[in-house]
Amino acid sequence: MDTFKSEKALVVFSGGQDSTTCLYWALEHFGQVHTLTFGYGQKHSLEIECAKEIANRAGVDFRYMDMSFIGSLGSNSLTDTSIKMDDSKPEGSFPNTFVPGRNLFFLSTAAVYARENGIRHIITGVSQTDFSGYPDCRDSFIRSLNVTLNLAMDSQFIIHTPLMWLDKAQTWEMADRLGVLDLVRNDTLTCYNGIKGDGCGHCPSCKLRRDGLEKYLKSREKSCCSTSEE
Amino acid sequence: MDTFKSEKALVVFSGGQDSTTCLYWALEHFGQVHTLTFGYGQKHSLEIECAKEIANRAGVDFRYMDMSFIGSLGSNSLTDTSIKMDDSKPEGSFPNTFVPGRNLFFLSTAAVYARENGIRHIITGVSQTDFSGYPDCRDSFIRSLNVTLNLAMDSQFIIHTPLMWLDKAQTWEMADRLGVLDLVRNDTLTCYNGIKGDGCGHCPSCKLRRDGLEKYLKSREKSCCSTSEE
């Protein structure tokens, strides 16, 4: 797929495993790559630093945008009239900050940004395989949103989702094929406890990541051996 | 249409002519009405005060939400180089704060709010007739967004657009039928210069509003006379 080799692309970028893999996927397919990182309250600032470092090393444009207003849409602040909306920055992680349709806001904002910068390709690392519990990671949502964004702004965005049908092991495989397995393993941050690389090892995100890596490395070893046996 | 008489509805509410008419339309059709008002930088605080007063007088729940982050999506802050977008922006008004897809953000936020409050009906005063220059006021956009929101949050929202196919004169007619022509005329604020009621009289918004009113009043007089002649 080198159809878009002369075009620009925007990667919705968190500095985690998935979006970093997407960044290198984008570098393979597009002529110029931009990244856009969102902060929305619960983000460790280290995560943003991480994203910036990876983007710099990849030599791509890095842009950070504060979306903490999204944190204020959570159930706590909106259903409880005594809680002010602007400054609900919950400590810890997800319970208070999960926002239905978060990807809706991220991708909508990315689309506005893309439009302003003459970019029509938007890349996101959402995956229906590993996160089927989140409706806004599903393929049908992304496709519908793509149409909605095009109608909203009279544009012709194309949202790319290279990881949509991959599980974590296959995502590691893609990183390996792109020559960045070590970079993704050591320099990305997906751990809920804010520890880079292999992370704390026991949070759900670390487990998912490690299980995928182990599965991929095993299968690589296997196919490696079976190749040498032939 | 009294199918929804026992249900709750959320009106995206600015305190202007259109959304105030929608508010009273909602009161006619739904059992419990909520309003949600957005601030996004360029709003006169008087506008918000206005909205609050109208909501209070109508006896409906009023909620204000700061969305000034939207202002930061405008061309000035995000585009370093070429600023090129506002083909459809109204003359002399919001040059720096117009955001492509603004209704996308408003309605998405409204949907999150609605969901949190157990509301599935969302009412917006967008009209394709008077604002066909804005892609995010078009019927096709709203319908597509409706599907997208439902997919994003695994919900069954219904977006109502009572003014979609009405021009300003017909919107005045609706206000009259709902018994609030004087209220809409005197207490709503649509003027770009922040003057309530008939406004400054010369901004694009005041002109559109006044032309519609004159047209409606003329037609009412006519039909009134022709009725009495019969």
**pLDDT, tens digit, for every residue of A113-142?**
999 899 999 999 999 987 657 889 999 999
Residue in B closest to A70 by C-alpha: B109
Chain A residue numbers touching B105 (CB-CB < 8 A) = 105, 108
In a domain, B95, yes or no: yes
Instruction: State residue A111 phi and psi, 5-degree precision.
Output: -65, -40
Q: pLDDT-derived band of residue B224, with 50, 70 and 90 as boundaries?
A: confident
- Report the pLDDT value the prediction gives residue A39, as an integer from 0 to 100: 83
pLDDT of residue B77 exceeding 60, the answer is no
Min distance A229 CA to chain B CA atoms (Å) = 49
Residue pLDDT, tens place only, B121-148? 999 999 998 765 788 999 999 999 999 9
Q: Return the pLDDT at B32.
A: 97
Among the partner-chain residues B75, B145, B152, the one whose CB lies closest to the CB of A141 is B152
**Is A112 within 8 Å of B103 when comparing Cβ atoms?**
no
Among A175-189, B72-86, B216-230, the range of highest mean pLDDT: A175-189
N-terminal to C-terminal alpha carbon distance within chain A? 31
B204 or A43: which leads in pLDDT: B204
pLDDT band at A82 (very low <50, low <70, confident <90, very high): very low
Burial class (CB in 10 A: 0-12, 13-18, 19+), A208: middle
Contact B144 A141 (CB under 8 A): no
Is residue B209 a part of any domain in this protein?
no
Nearest residue of A to residue B141 by CA position? A151
* Chain B residue with minimum CA distance to A145: B148
Confidence of residue A67 (pLDDT cuts 50, 70, 90): confident
Query: Under DSSP, is residue B68 helix (H, G, I), strand (E, B) or coil?
Result: helix
Disruptive mutation site among B109, B151, B155 for chain A (greatest number of A CBs within 10 Å): B151
The sign of the torsion formed by the CA atoms of B43, B45, B46, B48 equals positive
Cβ–Cβ of A135/B115 closer than 8 Å? Answer: no
pLDDT-derived band at A74, boundaries 50, 70, 90 = low
Q: Position of tokens 């842009």?
A: A63
Q: What is the C-alpha to C-alpha distance for residues A34 and A60, in angstroms, rounded to an integer? A: 6
CATH number of the domain residue A89 falls in: 3.40.50.620
Cβ of B78 and A151 within 8 Å? no
ipTM rounded to 2 decimals:
0.85
The distance of Cα A72 from the centroid of its chain, to the nearest Å, equals 21
Confidence of residue A219 (pLDDT cuts 50, 70, 90): very high
Residue A2 placed within a domain: no
The answer, yes or no, to whether residue A62 has pLDDT greater than 60, is yes
Residues in chain A with CB shorter than 8 Å from the CB of B82 are 118
Mean pLDDT for the stretch of residues A174-183: 98
Q: Does the pLDDT at position A11 exceed 60? A: yes
Q: Is the pLDDT of residue B209 over 70?
A: yes
A-B interface: how many C-beta pairs under 8 angstroms?
112
Q: Is the pLDDT of residue B54 over 80?
A: yes
Mean pLDDT of A134-159: 95
- φ, ψ for residue A6, nearest 5 deg: -95, 5
State which residue of chain A sits closest to B112, comparing Cα positions: A100
Closest-CA residue of chain B to A110: B73
More confident position, B156 or B46: B156
| DSSP letter (8 states) at residue A194 | -
Per-residue confidence (pLDDT) for residue A77, from 0 to 100: 39
Residue A20 lies in a domain: yes
Query: Rounded mean pLDDT of chain A?
Result: 85
Higher pLDDT among residues B193 and B81, named by residue: B193
Using left for φ > 0, alpha for ψ between -120 and 50, and beta otherwise, residue B45 falls in alpha
Is residue B29 in some structural domain?
yes
Per DSSP, B116 falls in state: H
With respect to residue B66, please indicate whether it lies within any of the assigned structural domains: yes
Q: What's the structural domain count of chain B?
A: 1
Q: What is the structure's pLDDT at B192? A: 84
Q: Domain for residue A223, yes or no? A: yes
Q: Backbone phi, then psi, for B219, in 5-degree steps? A: -70, -30
Q: List chain B residues with CB under 8 Å of A148.
A: 104, 141, 144-145, 147-148
pLDDT, one tens digit per residue, over B78-124 is 333 333 333 344 443 333 445 678 899 999 999 999 998 999 999 99
The pLDDT of residue B41 is 64
Sequence-distant (≥ 6) Cβ neighbours of residue A97 within 8 angstroms: A40, A41, A42, A71, A74, A90
- What are the backbone dihedrals phi and psi of residue B61, each rounded to the nearest 5 degrees, phi first? -65, 130
In a domain, B173, yes or no: no
Better-scored residue on pLDDT, B62 or B225:
B62
- Do A153 and B144 make contact, defined as CB atoms within 8 angstroms? no
pLDDT at A47 (0 to 100): 86
Q: Which residues contact B68 (CB under 8 A, 6 or more apart)?
A: B39, B40, B41
pLDDT of B225 higher than 80 = no
State pTM to two decimals.
0.86
Domain of residue A75, residue span:
8-229
Mean pLDDT of A211-222: 96
Measured between beta carbons, the chain A residues lying within 8 angstroms of B155 are 100
Contact A141 B149 (CB under 8 A): no
